[in-house]
A and B are shown apart, each in its own frame.
Chain A
């Protein structure tokens, strides 16, 4: 009993010492952490931070940085890569705190927000980029990065278009060859020969094809067309931009910096009705099967779909699929008489917060140079914006056994429609997404899209 009474008096000192020790060591750990974080960098006098999100492009840009540093020993390029999901938040928060990168890879949905808030440096302010010539790049790409004030805010980096991935083996089983996928036509009324092919490639659980009698649209094993979802957050870039645009429909009243969208146009309505109508016919997975994060690559890889339309930046994901004899087919020609693809591109922008605008501009100028873009193209991952870089990429893809002409032909023939560069990109996405989802599900129709167009119009008032 008595020992119980006395123990509180004896115990604490030891314990307190323990705890004090613990607190001290914690503080020491913290200090060690501080000390451990030495200022990074190398021998270079000026460090330029460059951020990008495409990890598969990292090797190409690292090669550019090495080449650049060799030419400019006083500038040190530090590349940091964050996945797409983190990239924009980290970038925005860093800019708010004044701790962002000097140069960063930019996207057309985001850059109008940056331009209108004055956080990007226009190219004419720095010597290295003052002689920027948009003619160096594939037609139309430079204009995408021209602000409403006519000044250049981004160095064209690469471009992307849409084509259709397929499995040669699946075609063979259907008694078709890759040639049968060329020169197809499409229209929103009966789907043309494109729909015939999709129907023929759809197979139900009994092995009956969609082009045959007795096909059960509620019990399909392989869909003719893969689904990339409703596409509300990217203007249907990979999902339906190529359908709607091939009717002659355009997104906006001006090519860039428009203030009016055309989502009230009948042509886009009919195109979407045809596409989403494929669900009932059993030619495309329903919304319930693919949801809001659809993966057309996965659908092709698992044999759940036969034709998988997707963007050129996904080529490497498709080439990794095992057991697939991969082929690339062109988009079908629409009522305008030829196929049309959305034409989108990334760029490199210079942050207005940089302490070294001249050096940052030198790096950006190098990023846009033939030398760097050929280095990137040789990686065979994306199509660089510089024609020489594009050529290098076509060659590199060819070495991997993929003929990427269906992607690049569209640009050569100028069968493209530009990504709509306007203000309020994110808000417009927030308005379109639920409506297009609902249209895909079948709980909304074209009139809701017209109504959404009115809400978009109000943003610009």
Chain B
């Protein structure tokens, strides 16, 4: 088959196929359902949200146009800038640890065993919702009564105020979310690893390449589209961290874990400053767009090395 295919269809696309290359009509048909969802449930709310960021709206009485006042207030708001700092710190910790751990698990899963049981186990934390995962760790890491702190004491270390000290709050929250997502991320990477043709490794082995060498020159480049995807998705998700903070530290101690999404949420639903919350959300959106665009460029997630 391969030989015939290569004869008939060399890498340059033949004329017959090329003619049909503009698939516009079919393409629009194929994306139609998704497009409806996009416009109805994402874009219309987005447009509305951006419009509301120029108003003062308390949810229960009509919105009033106030121009860029919310944005002026935002630039001068120390809590906002603190929230940006805290969020970035969280994202770096969360993504850094999570990607490394997930990559290790995925490679180990592929190399060591194909047990379905193992794969179910590793995904198990993802079956628990964010809120519950946070509560479980809140309980395990309680300063006085948590088994985690008891373990530390048993091995001769001193207890740590995981959720209760300014230095530990964000790393602990990042850790909880790594726990919940590492299996999930590992599974995505694992699926990417499975898509790498095995003969490449066989060829590498014939050439006497070491495992490390093959990892660098086969696994990494061919995994790049999936890894890029995983990174982009997890960074976007990571920026929007909320539940875990809300049920554990509530943003404290002081403002040590008051992440952007929590601050937005407090403004919108607790303080009835929806207009200001909308402006904060636009700021977060802008940060996300910049970060994602940069990542997209760096990881070249849009291309594949296979074709």
How close is A292's CB to chain B, nearest CB, in angstroms?
A: 4
The distance in angstroms between the C-alpha atoms of A323 and B55, with both chains bound, is 57
- Contact between chains at B144 and A299 (CB < 8 Å): yes
- Contact between chains at B144 and A291 (CB < 8 Å): no
Interface window among A62-70, A165-173, A262-270, A435-443: A435-443
Interface window among A281-289, A309-317, A360-368: A281-289
1/0 per residue, CB under 8 A from A, across B250-285: the answer is 111111000000000010011110000000000000
Q: Chain A CB within 10 Å — which of B165, B250, B270 has the most?
A: B270
Chain A residues in 8 Å Cβ range of B164: 287-292
Chain A residues in 8 Å Cβ range of B61: 117-118
- Contact between chains at A288 and B165 (CB < 8 Å): yes
- Contact between chains at A291 and B1 (CB < 8 Å): no
Q: What are 23 A-to-B residue pairs whose CB atoms are below 8 Å?
A: A88-B269, A93-B269, A95-B59, A118-B61, A287-B161, A288-B164, A289-B143, A291-B163, A291-B164, A291-B249, A291-B253, A292-B252, A292-B253, A293-B163, A293-B248, A293-B250, A299-B144, A304-B144, A304-B145, A426-B266, A430-B271, A438-B253, A441-B254
Q: Please tell me which one of the listed residues A293, A427, A433 contacts residue B138 in the complex, with CB atoms under 8 A apart.
A: A293
> Is A96 part of the binding interface, using a Cβ–Cβ cutoff of 8 Å?
yes
How close is A15's CB to chain B, nearest CB, in angstroms?
A: 16
- Contact between chains at B269 and A89 (CB < 8 Å): yes
CB-based closest 3 A-B pairs: A291-B164, A288-B161, A292-B252
Chain B residues in 8 Å Cβ range of A434: 252, 254-255
The distance in angstroms between the C-alpha atoms of A433 and B164, with both chains bound, is 14
- Contact between chains at B252 and A433 (CB < 8 Å): yes
Q: Chain B CB within 10 Å — which of A1, A93, A299 has the most?
A: A1
- Contact between chains at A438 and B254 (CB < 8 Å): yes
> Is A80 part of the binding interface, using a Cβ–Cβ cutoff of 8 Å?
no
How close is B252's CB to chain A, nearest CB, in angstroms?
A: 4
How close is B70's CB to chain A, nearest CB, in angstroms?
A: 15
Chain A residues in 8 Å Cβ range of B166: 441
> Is A302 part of the binding interface, using a Cβ–Cβ cutoff of 8 Å?
yes
- Contact between chains at B250 and A96 (CB < 8 Å): no
Chain B residues in 8 Å Cβ range of A430: 266, 270-271
The distance in angstroms between the C-alpha atoms of A430 and B143, with both chains bound, is 25
- Contact between chains at B60 and A117 (CB < 8 Å): yes
> Is A447 part of the binding interface, using a Cβ–Cβ cutoff of 8 Å?
no
- Contact between chains at B1 and A1 (CB < 8 Å): yes
Chain B residues in 8 Å Cβ range of A293: 138, 163, 248-250
Chain A residues in 8 Å Cβ range of B251: 292, 433
> Is A7 part of the binding interface, using a Cβ–Cβ cutoff of 8 Å?
no
- Contact between chains at B254 and A437 (CB < 8 Å): yes
1/0 per residue, CB under 8 A from B, across A246-263: the answer is 000000000000000000
Chain A residues in 8 Å Cβ range of B163: 291-293
> Is A119 part of the binding interface, using a Cβ–Cβ cutoff of 8 Å?
yes
The distance in angstroms between the C-alpha atoms of A293 and B145, with both chains bound, is 14
> Is B4 part of the binding interface, using a Cβ–Cβ cutoff of 8 Å?
yes
How close is A442's CB to chain B, nearest CB, in angstroms?
A: 11
> Is B69 part of the binding interface, using a Cβ–Cβ cutoff of 8 Å?
no
The distance in angstroms between the C-alpha atoms of A339 and B3, with both chains bound, is 94
Q: Please tell me which one of the listed residues B145, B165, B247 contacts residue A302 in the complex, with CB atoms under 8 A apart.
A: B145
1/0 per residue, CB under 8 A from A, across B137-171: the answer is 01000011100000000000000010111100000
Indicate whether A298 sits within 8 Å of B145 (C-beta atoms), given known contacts A88-B269, A287-B253, A291-B249: yes
Chain B residues in 8 Å Cβ range of A1: 1, 4
How close is B299's CB to chain A, nearest CB, in angstroms?
A: 32
How close is A445's CB to chain B, nearest CB, in angstroms?
A: 14
Closest B residue to A232 by CB, please name it: B252
> Is A92 part of the binding interface, using a Cβ–Cβ cutoff of 8 Å?
yes
> Is A113 part of the binding interface, using a Cβ–Cβ cutoff of 8 Å?
yes
- Contact between chains at A291 and B271 (CB < 8 Å): no
Chain A residues in 8 Å Cβ range of B247: 85
How close is A72's CB to chain B, nearest CB, in angstroms?
A: 30
- Contact between chains at A427 and B252 (CB < 8 Å): no
Q: Please tell me which one of the listed residues A88, A117, A291, A443 contacts residue B252 in the complex, with CB atoms under 8 A apart.
A: A291
Q: Please tell me which one of the listed residues B60, B253, B270 contacts residue A426 in the complex, with CB atoms under 8 A apart.
A: B270
Closest A residue to B164 by CB, please name it: A291
Chain A residues in 8 Å Cβ range of B143: 288-291
Chain A residues in 8 Å Cβ range of B269: 88-89, 92-93
Chain B residues in 8 Å Cβ range of A95: 59-60
Chain A residues in 8 Å Cβ range of B270: 88, 426, 429-430
The distance in angstroms between the C-alpha atoms of A291 and B266, with both chains bound, is 19
- Kindly identify, within residues 102 to 147 of chain B, every residue whose CB is under 8 Å from any CB belonging to chain A: 138, 143-145
Chain B residues in 8 Å Cβ range of A96: 59-60
The distance in angstroms between the C-alpha atoms of A202 and B251, with both chains bound, is 31
Chain B residues in 8 Å Cβ range of A437: 252-254
How close is A104's CB to chain B, nearest CB, in angstroms?
A: 14
Chain B residues in 8 Å Cβ range of A113: 272
The distance in angstroms between the C-alpha atoms of A95 and B248, with both chains bound, is 28
Q: Please tell me which one of the listed residues A117, A118, A443 contacts residue B254 in the complex, with CB atoms under 8 A apart.
A: A443
- Kindly identify, within residues 81 to 122 of chain A, every residue whose CB is under 8 Å from any CB belonging to chain B: 85, 88-89, 92-93, 95-96, 113-114, 117-119
The distance in angstroms between the C-alpha atoms of A438 and B9, with both chains bound, is 71
How close is A145's CB to chain B, nearest CB, in angstroms?
A: 19
Supply 11 further A-B pairs (C-beta < 8 A) apart from A92-B269, A93-B269, A430-B271: A92-B60, A96-B59, A119-B60, A288-B164, A291-B163, A291-B164, A292-B251, A293-B138, A437-B252, A438-B254, A441-B254
Indicate whether A426 sits within 8 Å of B271 (C-beta atoms), given known contacts A4-B1, A285-B144, A291-B143: yes
The distance in angstroms between the C-alpha atoms of A155 and B32, with both chains bound, is 53
Chain B residues in 8 Å Cβ range of A288: 143, 161, 164-165
Closest B residue to A5 by CB, please name it: B1
- Contact between chains at B145 and A292 (CB < 8 Å): no
Closest B residue to A439 by CB, please name it: B254
Chain A residues in 8 Å Cβ range of B138: 293
How close is A432's CB to chain B, nearest CB, in angstroms?
A: 12
- Contact between chains at A292 and B249 (CB < 8 Å): yes
Chain B residues in 8 Å Cβ range of A441: 166, 253-254
- Kindly identify, within residues 1 to 47 of chain B, every residue whose CB is under 8 Å from any CB belonging to chain A: 1, 4
The distance in angstroms between the C-alpha atoms of A201 and B250, with both chains bound, is 31
Chain B residues in 8 Å Cβ range of A119: 60
How close is A34's CB to chain B, nearest CB, in angstroms?
A: 18
Q: Please tell me which one of the listed residues A92, A304, A427, A443 contacts residue B59 in the complex, with CB atoms under 8 A apart.
A: A92
Closest B residue to A294 by CB, please name it: B164
How close is B150's CB to chain A, nearest CB, in angstroms?
A: 12
How close is B104's CB to chain A, nearest CB, in angstroms?
A: 32
- Contact between chains at B250 and A289 (CB < 8 Å): no
Closest A residue to B248 by CB, please name it: A293
The distance in angstroms between the C-alpha atoms of A93 and B164, with both chains bound, is 31
How close is B172's CB to chain A, nearest CB, in angstroms?
A: 11
Q: Please tell me which one of the listed residues A287, A302, A427 contacts residue B271 in the complex, with CB atoms under 8 A apart.
A: A427
- Contact between chains at A302 and B144 (CB < 8 Å): yes
Closest A residue to B257 by CB, please name it: A292
